[in-house]
Amino acid sequence: MLAIGKLLELTLAGREPCEKVQLTPRGVKLHWLAEGALLVSPPSGQDQGVDLVLSAGIHGNELIPIHFLDRLIRALARGDVQPRARLLLLFANPAAMRRMVRYIEHDLNRLFLGAHADVWGGEAIRASELEALVGGFFSVSGRQRRHYDLHSAMRPSRLAQFAICPWREGGGAQPDALARLHGLAIDGVLLQRQTSSTLSAMTATLHGAEAFTLELAEGKGEDLPPAVLQFEQELIAMIEGRELPAGAEAQPQLLSISREVIKRSSRFRLCLPADIENFAPLPLGSLLAEDDGMRWVVDEPDARILFPMADVAEGQRAALIVVPLEQSDK
């Protein structure tokens, strides 16, 4: 296997490869661009006009996406995967990955679309670097632009794998994009209703990419869970230019954010079991959280909980109340 295929090892060790550009025996070019950044180009005459960004490790303690991307890079370097798309593969937050923590100073996934200019530190610098890398990659006009930012929700979920579609002017996800997600073993899509400063929001807003944050299934140990293995199989088919399974009419379940629960003080309390699953139903009228005299009571029919995290900094989101799309304003 080509040495550059050990990108994760190089990134965790803070090292650069001796050779920045290497070719597989089948003519695929691997180009080390910067720390944790690899450009993959198909052989001449085999490019089908798709530019795909795959990013992982924006939160350094989400190990399944990091392990997944490492497997893909090694397969590309061995020649087991023959791409017909240009790929930009990113280990987004090397410093947090080395410490196996969510972030060092600032949540990197809140620092795009100019937000990094308002803070100091390594994550602000890295956000600027990632914006430049993605901007350079998407600089060629007339090509299909896609981006899947890979995450792990860190808890079991009623929907094994789901996507978050960033809001952008002009509408949400197109039917063909949703069909692709369904083919990639994604069970649900959460449609955001307001702007955000995530990495996928940046690629959607600035570059018009078909961009999603993907929450992969949780598992135990180093083995990838079955849903992630299915995602891997179908993603490789996409990368190699092979047709995804038929059924464009089939789409993931669509959901919308009804409310955010924001932690405002140290007295914040989530009134939920610590091991509650993502998308678990919330009984109508139940107390969800309280904080210094404020109470969040569930008043949405068919409400579900998403990303409950009481241990966040004050001012940050501690949970989302989501509802099926037919219950929300379209």
Cα dihedral sign, 177-181-182-188: negative
Q: Could you say which of 215, 218, 232, 277 is catalytic?
A: 215
Catalytic site residue 218? no
Question: How far does Cα 97 stand from its chain's mean position?
Answer: 15
Q: CB–CB of 256/233 below 8 Å?
A: no
**In the numeric block, which tokens belong to residue 37?**
């950044």
Which residues, other chains included, contact 148 with Cβ-Cβ below 8 Å and sequence gap of 6+? 52, 53, 54, 55, 211, 212, 214, 235
| Alpha helix segments (H runs only) across the chain | 7-13, 63-78, 94-99, 122-137, 175-183, 199-207, 226-239
b/e 310-319 (16+ beta carbons within 10 angstroms → b) = eebeeeeebb
| Alpha helix segments (H runs only) across 46-166 | 63-78, 94-99, 122-137
Q: Which amino acid is at 193?
A: R
Q: Is 151 annotated as a binding residue?
A: yes
Give the residue numbers annotated as catalytic, written as ranges: 215
Residue list for the binding site for Zn(2+): 59, 62, 151
